[in-house]
A and B are shown apart, each in its own frame.
Chain A
């Protein structure tokens, strides 16, 4: 049987793969997208691994906040290998002309860096750049600072209390990727310069780190654990080169999954193209199948014969996709390799290709086996009358299709970084697909009813829409799915961008001031009032500020494993806290809502009380009345939870995860932070003014940060939309498939219409109506589904305000209808290009 099946299949395949172009294109597109996403992510992962030592700056990294390492700690580190110590702080940089800007200062010692090199311009080496000249220490500064302060190399500027000389342009630091986001341009100085400056004094926001090069053969992970075990209460953050840039690694995982998901959605959308192409091909083979059955062939032989052909073609489609998917990152690396923010080793990686291939084969099986089942059941009586297009029989094929579909979903979930999110996304795609499929059928049914009410080309268009080969049934689910994905991406991005550019500037403060000395707080208020006018709770808020660590819960040390992963960060690091005499006025609390408990009254002087962010409380299983141990300024304070509240961090209010009662830290000299709402001109004036009166106060322009974020987001948005367009392309391929499958029938129809006296214009109009309606229906449904998918992401996941980019939505709708209509006109043009007589004779 198998030999005969192969022999007959090879005879059938001699007619070529012309009818399978769309089949091949649909499979290749989805597989290529998944393979390219996986290969690119793998290239980044290998790049990160190969440069892990440079990225971390050594084999082991230990950091501590707001204090220096103790002599015992230093001795322990120095005993492990070669060490280099760095310190970091923030300060306001000021040019002689009065221009000011917050900078991230970093002090390095003579052994820095232990791995890789610091790239600088304008000086022969780092040592020369940072050396004193005329008693003024040198600094390597990022170009952004030179631009902002209108400085050139050799010019002097101050950073807080220190005078520095711009000794070189800082191009890159080898460990830049592991250090993450900086609030201001980076400035590199010698460590002793920073130590002397006073910027590292306790109570401020500063940090120290040591990087250690271990002797060969030592496992950095084991050594790191030993360090933590030796100093369990030190508050160290310990990282090793095996996980040098966890943030970048997470980003790569998410990027791979997002792009892979788009590829998967393309495969599902393109699956209709696969099913359509297989169905159309098998429909042309219906007479042959009937003949073979009349000659004695049983159903199994028919199934095997066409299964072999489809399998071979699926393998070809997957292979094309894999070649394209493997080549795309190589091309990306060739043209953009040096400008990528993350190191990458572009090569052909078998694992992501195998995964993409498996996705492709499962999709091919899921979408091909149903038409195959229908073909196998073709009755031999089809030789006497056309098949009635019977129902799909239950059998091996339907079981195989169901298993392949389930396998596709399971593989997508199993290989995702967050399986639950993946499962929700896959379920969303499945539900959307089912809804779109039902809508397509409903549209065809509706067109059949409405056509009686109209005449001329509209009736013809609607009749075709209702007919057995209606594109509403075949192409509209695929187009709808593509539009839904694009709409979802567009709506999420536009809502988030609106949050950054419109909502946040309206609700968030324009400026943040840190490092305000507590003793001079009233004088600071007065200085601000000089620039802003009378201060009101709506425009200005100053609060005491202290950093501390949550070290115990309900009398027990924090066990991070018992805290939900999403909230673990707050129990892992020093966090900012404030103190309030009582409940903030409702207009200062932004959208912060008291969820449980009661605020202390002004003047309360009992045992320490605190309010806690309700999300953190939920993550740690805390409720009102529980005790929390805080380690602040070197001492432990046990406070009872009085209030749980929900905080909107973008709002204008005391948005701190922990708020203590005002007297909880009585006697401590706390620095203050302040936030203010003011215009751009006032902002510039105040920044300059504070340079004279409060040079030690750090000024952060939220507006500037938002502008920078909006710019970055905009660039990302374009790339993400481009990727999502792949799914839209799959929809268009299915439309092209539907047009190709119906080309012969269209030519016959057009010829008959011409014979009956229809003009070219009438025929074109009929086709434009038919396909335009398909695009419009699919587009509208896709947009609706896009809304349904985007809303929870924006409102629940990002907790942003819902806003709709109606312009983008309209463009999508018009694009879907327009492209679909163009497809219809193309179908009409192809049909009309043939002379009627030969077409009718051939029939």
Chain B
């Protein structure tokens, strides 16, 4: 498919069915989606509609039950878990609603870790620069539990973008924050994504935030409705 070769992310007829005590649950029911380089896409929809699973499948964190997922043109089904992890290194990043900072690492170590994993030599100094960019130069050696929710999400943003990825997945990035802090974090995210030229796939419940995207996709019952 021509679209797949020029897209940073392409999903073709993707389904995801997970087992549960009450029987299999269909999470995604045939999703087709393509994201172009630099494009900012918002995914909205009610709880349980499959938004977060879309990100999990797209980022290669979860394997679909059927269909094809291409990340940077690579068919993820052809890669094992380690292969998918290597593909993400420095190119695809994630930001989560629950921040998911590494609890035993300081802010600068959290930001430096993906750079180190990707083999960067000056990971810590790059991390400091990025924490300065998100306004946390005074919090370099603080641990996650010593930071507020907004600060933690800013660290998460710095961690995601420090390697200048081509694609950022953001799963409810402001969902755990109050309105004022959410606005600050959203501004920062859009500014930084624009600066590094990354594409953005953002799941959100917030219509205002969704409005800031280039394209909006609505999900319902595991399908893209429009």
* Interface positions of A (Cβ within 8 A of B): 4, 7-8, 11-12, 14-15, 287-288, 290-301, 379-381, 383-384, 388
Contacts and interface: CB of A to CB of B under 8 A. Distances in A.
A379 B62 contact: yes
B85 interface: yes
Given A8-B113, A291-B101, A383-B61, 8 more contacts: A4-B116, A288-B103, A294-B61, A295-B93, A298-B82, A381-B61, A384-B53, A384-B61
Contact of A299 (B82, B88, B102): B82
Given A4-B116, A8-B113, A381-B61, A293 B85 contact: yes
A11 B89 contact: no
Contacts of B15: none
Interface size of B as a range: 20 to 34
A381 B89 CA distance: 17
B81 interface: yes
A298 B86 contact: yes
Contacts of A11: 102, 104-105, 109
Contacts of A15: 103-104
Given A298-B82, A299-B82, A381 B114 contact: no
16 contacts: A11-B105, A12-B104, A15-B103, A293-B85, A294-B100, A295-B159, A296-B86, A296-B118, A297-B85, A298-B85, A299-B81, A379-B81, A380-B56, A380-B62, A380-B85, A384-B53
A828 B53 CA distance: 39
Contacts of B19: 388
Contact of A287 (B56, B100, B109, B114): B100
A294 B117 contact: no
Contacts of A8: 113, 116
Q: Which of A8, A296, A379 gathers most chain B CB within 10 Å?
A: A296
B57 to A, nearest CB: 9
Contact of A383 (B85, B100, B113): B100
Contact of B82 (A288, A294, A300, A388): A300
Given A296-B118, A301-B117, A291 B102 contact: yes
Interface string B93-114: 1101000111111000100011
B114 A296 contact: yes
B58 to A, nearest CB: 12
Contact of A14 (B62, B86, B89, B104): B104
Contacts of B117: 4, 292, 295-297, 301
A292 B82 CA distance: 12
B105 A7 contact: no
Contacts of B96: 383
Contacts of B61: 290, 293-294, 379-381, 383-384
Given A294-B61, A294-B94, A380-B61, A288 B88 contact: no
A295 B158 CA distance: 13
Contacts of A291: 100-102
A294 B82 CA distance: 11
A685 to B, nearest CB: 83
B64 to A, nearest CB: 11
A381 B56 contact: yes
B172 to A, nearest CB: 11
Contact of B59 (A12, A292, A294, A299): A294
Contacts of B101: 291
Given A11-B105, A379-B81, A295 B113 contact: yes
A287 B102 CA distance: 8
A379 B61 CA distance: 7
Contacts of B114: 295-296
A385 to B, nearest CB: 8
Contacts of B89: 296
B52 interface: yes
Report, nearest first, the 8 A-B pairs whose CB atoms are least far apart. A296-B89, A298-B82, A380-B61, A295-B114, A381-B62, A15-B104, A291-B100, A381-B61
A292 B104 contact: no
Contacts of B105: 11
Contacts of A381: 56, 61-62
A622 to B, nearest CB: 68
B35 to A, nearest CB: 18
Contact of B102 (A292, A296, A379, A388): A292
A379 B84 CA distance: 12
A4 B88 CA distance: 18
Interface in B165-202: 171
B90 interface: yes
A288 B61 CA distance: 14
Nearest to A293: B85
Contacts of B104: 11-12, 14-15, 288
Contacts of A292: 102, 113, 117
A290 B159 CA distance: 15
B81 A294 contact: no
A475 to B, nearest CB: 26
Nearest to A294: B94
Interface string B59-79: 111100000000000000000
Contacts of A297: 85, 117
A15 B109 CA distance: 14
B53 A296 contact: no
B152 to A, nearest CB: 13
Contacts of A290: 61, 100
Nearest to A4: B116
Contacts of A384: 52-53, 56, 61-62, 171
A295 to B, nearest CB: 4
A59 B143 CA distance: 72
Interface in B142-167: 159
Contacts of A288: 102-104
B24 to A, nearest CB: 13
Contacts of B118: 296
A294 B56 CA distance: 10
Contacts of A4: 116-117
B217 to A, nearest CB: 19
Contacts of B85: 293, 296-298, 380
Contacts of B86: 296, 298
Contacts of B81: 293, 298-299, 379-380
Contacts of A287: 100
Contacts of B102: 11, 288, 291-292
B220 to A, nearest CB: 19
A294 B53 CA distance: 14
Contacts of A300: 82
Contacts of A14: 104
B162 to A, nearest CB: 11
B130 to A, nearest CB: 14
A492 B60 CA distance: 61
B84 to A, nearest CB: 9
Q: Which of B61, B93, B96 gathers most chain A CB within 10 Å?
A: B61
Nearest to A381: B62
